[in-house]
Amino acid sequence: MDNQHDVKIVTHMQNDYSVIIENVTFGYDEDRPILKNVSLKIRQGSIVAIMGGSGCGKTTLLRLISGQIKPQTGSVTVLNHNISSMPNRDILHLRKRMGMLFQFGALFTDMSVYENVAFSLKEHTNLPECLIKKIVAMKLNAVGLFGTENMMPQELSGGMARRIALARSMALDPELMMYDEPFTGLDPISLNVSAMLINKLSNALNQTSILVTHDIESSFKIVDYIYFMADGAITSQGTPEQIRNTDNLAVRQFVDGEINGPFRFDYPAKLDYSKYLEGYYK
Ligand SMILES: Nc1ncnc2c1ncn2[C@@H]1O[C@H](COP(=O)(O)OP(=O)(O)O)[C@@H](O)[C@H]1O
Ligand SMILES: [Mg+2]
C-alpha cells in the first residue's frame, strides 16, 4: 500500500513540470564549459523567460532541452523523459511534441504560406490533404492571418512572416514551445502583438512556453517566471514582480536599462517625437 502511494506522488510531481534540469554542465569543447551547474524547473502550462547577456548560454540551454546536444554531467528531463540518456531515435520522436521558433525563424522562401505551415504535418503525419488544409486554416486563423494560404513569403511584412513562422511551429500542437529571441527585429507594435499572441496560444493550448528574450517590457506582461543567466550559470530567478524589485545589481542594471535607458538591445528605441521636434524647432 505504502509503495503504491509513493508511486502516485512521484508521478504527480513529474507531471507538474515539463522541463527539469539538474546540475547540468555542458561545453562544446571539453575544456571550455558553457553551462555551469545549471538547475531549473519549468512548470507545465507556464510561460518562462530566460534572460541574460549575449553569449551567456541561452540558445545552448534550448538546444539541451530539445535534445540536440547532451549534458556532460547532470540530467535533462523533458516531458517526463530523461533525454540525457535517451537514444537519438527516441529523441526525434519526442521532439515532435516540441515546437521551436528561432530568431530569424525563416520561412521556406520558395514555398507558399500554405506549404510552409503544412510542412511538418506532411512530414510527420499521414493525414489526408483535406484534413491538412483544415488544420492549416485553423493555425492561420489562430495567428490572425486566415486566408493568406496562397501568398509567398516575399509578399509578407516582417511581422506577418513571424506570425506565419509561429503558425508553422504550432502545426503539430506541441506541448512545449521554445522561442529564441522571437521579438528581435520587430517594431514595438508587432512586438507587443507577438507577445500577446504567444500568451493567447499558450493559454488556449495549455502549452508550456520557454521564451529567450531581451525584451523586459513585453515579456514581463506575459511570463510567469524568469531565469537570469550570466556566464553559463543561473544568477537570479523569480516572478516578474520579484525581478522588478530585486537587489541583484546585475539584474537591476538589465531591468532598469531596458525600461528607462536610452538603448534597446534588439529594436530601435521608441522615440518620443514631440520632444524630438521641440529640440528641433528651438
Ligand atoms: N556550435 C558551437 N560550437 C562551439 N561554441 C559554440 C557553439 N554555439 C555556441 N557556442 C559558444 O557558446 C557560448 C554560448 O552561446 P549561446 O548559447 O549561443 O549564447 P546566447 O544564446 O546566450 O547568446 C558562446 O561563447 C558561443 O560562442
Ligand atoms: Mg542565442
pLDDT value of position 248: 85
Query: 133-156, pLDDT tens digit by residue?
Result: 999 999 999 888 999 999 999 999
pLDDT digit string, tens, across residues 99-119: 998 776 679 999 999 999 999
Does 58 or 84 have the greater pLDDT score? 58
State mean pLDDT over 78-94: 93
Judge if the beta carbon of residue 210 lies within 6 A of ligand 1. Answer: no
Average pLDDT over residues 153-178: 91
Query: How far from 119 is each of 168, 209, 227, 263, CA to CA, in Å?
Result: 8, 22, 33, 38
35 lines ligand 1 (CB under 6 A): no
According to the model, what pLDDT value does residue 279 have?
37
The domain made up of 2-97+217-281 has a fold known as: Rossmann fold (3.40.50)
Measuring from atom 5 of ligand 1, which residue has the nearest CA? Answer: 28
**Is the pLDDT confidence value at 267 over 60?**
no
Residues 6+ apart with CB under 8 A from 222: 47, 195, 196, 198, 199, 202
Which ligand has the shortest distance to the CA of 180? 2
Reported pTM: 0.83
How confident is residue 271, by pLDDT bands cut at 50, 70 and 90? very low
CA distance 221 to 274: 27
Nearest C-alpha to atom 2 of ligand 1 is from which residue? Answer: 28
Cβ of 32 closer than 6 Å to ligand 1, yes or no, is no
Mutate to test the pocket of ligand 1, among 25, 26, 34 (most ligand atoms within 8 A of CB): 34
Is residue 275 over pLDDT 90?
Answer: no
Does position 157 have pLDDT exceeding 90, yes or no?
A: no
281 Cβ closer than 6 Å to some ligand 1 atom: no
> Is the separation of the CB atoms in 56 and 227 below 8 Å?
no
What spacing in Å lies between the alpha carbon of 248 and ligand 1's midpoint?
25
Q: Residue 209: enclosing H or E segment and its boundaries? A: strand 208-212
Beta bridge partners of 99: 177
Q: Which of 24, 25, 28 to mutate to test the pocket of ligand 1 (most atoms within 8 A of CB)?
A: 28
Range with the largest mean pLDDT of 50-54, 58-62, 167-171: 58-62
The CB of 55 under 6 Å from ligand 1? The reply is yes
Q: Is 254 exposed, middle or buried (0-12, 13-18, 19+ CB in 10 A)?
A: buried
pLDDT at 276: 36
Residue whose CA is closest, atom 26 of ligand 1? 55
Enumerate the domain spans of the chain.
2-97+217-281
- Condensed to tens digits (0 to 9), the pLDDT of residues 181-215 reads 887 777 777 788 888 888 988 888 889 999 999 88
Q: How confident is the model at residue 277 (pLDDT cuts 50, 70, 90)?
A: very low
Cβ of 214 less than 6 Å from ligand 1? no
Calculate ∠ Cα 208-79-19, nearest 5°: 65
